[in-house]
Amino acid sequence: MVAVTNFILQGIFMYAASTAISAMSAISADTSTDIAMNTAVHSMARQDKPYSVVTNSTEWRSRGNLQSNLHDVCALLNVAAPAHSGKETTLFQHVHYKAGKRVHTTGQHFDTLYIVNSGFLKTILIDECGSEQVLGFPMKGDLLGIDAIYTKHHASEVVALSDCDLILVPYQVFSTLGRKYAELEHAMLSVMSRELVREQLIINMLSALGAEAKVARFLTMLGERFSQLGYSGKVYNLRMTRLEIASYLGLAIETVSRTLSALNDLGLIAVYQRQIAIIDAQSLATLRRLPVNKLHTDVTTSSELKINAKKGKKSKEMPVLITEKNSSQWKKMTAVAV
């Protein structure tokens, strides 16, 4: 059964790779330009603030006393536990990762699957030049490490965006339990299939939608994920930066900032620092393109502000959507969203 499962997994991942390549080739030339611009920014950012190198010291992670049994793990993955596993004594260790630390690196030998118990992370791909491309933002209930089952080495890196608690599932232990409980293998295949479907939806979005629609759909999908986890899908915090959102969507950071500002002006969302309040979820989910007068909104970037300051020119202020001075407006908007 395990051999059959591994064979199926290899087919799934090979199919996913071919689908991703085909879909990404359909991205427009404008989006490709945005990707190139954004990749350069990421490359500079990595040189300025490189991630910490993974070591065995307790500075980058700490093992707590918390452990989960098989039923806890299945509940977190939202799948049914094996029928006769009530007396199963296998326990899975929790590991705490601090914000900014890597869970695993590209090329690292695979021996463990990770389940997100709490926190927010990002999956990234780093090329030979050190440029970073964001592939996803895993959160509670997501399974990490399945991309390494085929080659036995991780093809991407996972970095904690906030303090995270992950459950370690050694692959050998999982294989043993799979031989013991046939339902467990089917459940894990369902989880992997769910992850694959989600990734395909993202790829289709990136290849079919325009820049403004990508940002709008990203906010909508993120709200839906929070709702599924039992949190508010209308008002939530963005754990990732604008630059990371831009990299994920294949856009320039200026495009993301301009679109957020325009969506705020249209009354579809309200933005206060990293908080997002979705005011008109229906219009946001169906938006295809911004009105012409909003599409060409002038946005002064931080780099332009610095250049103008050196030249002694008085620059236009960066657009502030909701500030401390008008926080009462934010409260009114969030009340409408909720």
pTM of the model: 0.71
Strand positions, DSSP E, the chain: 61-69, 91-97, 102-104, 112-118, 121-126, 132-136, 143-144, 157-160, 164-170, 235-237, 269-272, 275-278
Helix (H/G/I), strand (E/B), else coil: 107:
coil
Among 5-19, 66-80, 297-311, the range with the most confident prediction by mean pLDDT is 66-80
Q: Can you give the pLDDT at residue 54?
A: 32
**Which pLDDT belongs to residue 226?**
94
The predicted structure's pLDDT at residue 57? 37
pLDDT at 91 over 90: yes
Residue range 4-23: mean pLDDT, rounded: 46
Question: Three-state DSSP class for 32?
Answer: helix
Q: What would the mean pLDDT of 304-312 be, rounded to a whole number?
A: 47
Residues 251-302 pLDDT 10s = 999 999 999 999 999 999 999 888 999 999 999 999 988 876 654 444 444 4
Mind listing the domains of the chain with CATH numbers? Answer: 2-207 (2.60.120.10), 210-337 (1.10.10.10)
Q: How many C-alpha atoms does 196 have within 13 Å on its Cβ side?
A: 19
For residue 277, list its beta bridge partners. Answer: 235, 270
pLDDT of 25: 40
pLDDT band at 32 (very low <50, low <70, confident <90, very high): very low
The pLDDT-based confidence of 17 (bands split at 50, 70, 90) is very low
Residue of 121, 110, 101, 98 whose CA lies nearest to 145: 110
The rounded percent of the chain whose pLDDT value lies above 70 is 67
